[in-house]
A and B are shown apart, each in its own frame.
Chain A
Amino acid sequence: GQNIDQPTEMTATEGAIVQINCTYQTSGFNGLFWYQQHAGEAPTFLSYNVLDGLEEKGRFSSFLSRSKGYSYLLLKELQMKDSASYLCFFPGGSYIPTFGRGTSLIVHP
């Protein structure tokens, strides 16, 4: 099975940097995804980590440490439109694919 933990809510200021953590305990591992979901919309893909280290995509970066069961999503130069829910996702394989409950990020001026 899988146990995934994310903070429920975070707030940050426009222009700042925010780090959203995801810790997990899984019976197997074949990658971790991060998704963004705006209210009333479908989740959209942000990043994918399968090896340890940092993956950078513009203002968004994601880090993975498999030995520590830990990942984070780093958002730089925050914009108001970044206010959304951020979900870490384990795709599964021989086990049930699972989302974390999501972190609601509120960006204020």
Chain B
Amino acid sequence: GAVVSQHPSWVICKSGTSVKIECRSLDFQATTMFWYRQFPKQSLMLMATSNEGSKATYEQGVEKDKFLINHASLTLSTLTVTSAHPEDSSFYICSANAETSGNHEQFFGPGTRLTVL
């Protein structure tokens, strides 16, 4: 199957700093990628849809100025958590949409654990 990577796998930062997370589709091109957030013992919540060459579409309640998304190429989307605070500590997972045999399927990265001190 298609492979999606995320970098870094974990990051610890001080409150007030910004953190960038990369999501790459390694062996396919993805015009659409998605960013999810998962708090402990909870399910994945969709944050935004990242579209190559255009602005991201954010889900209700997600601050677009705090979670900056850039999808500058067909294989890379980045999520920047600006002015991070302890409540932003979470597991961030990306996925990339791939079309295989006429069907659309999402492939997930391994996730990035963010801890804000």
**A and B: interacting chains:** no
Binding site for A on B (CB under 8 A): none
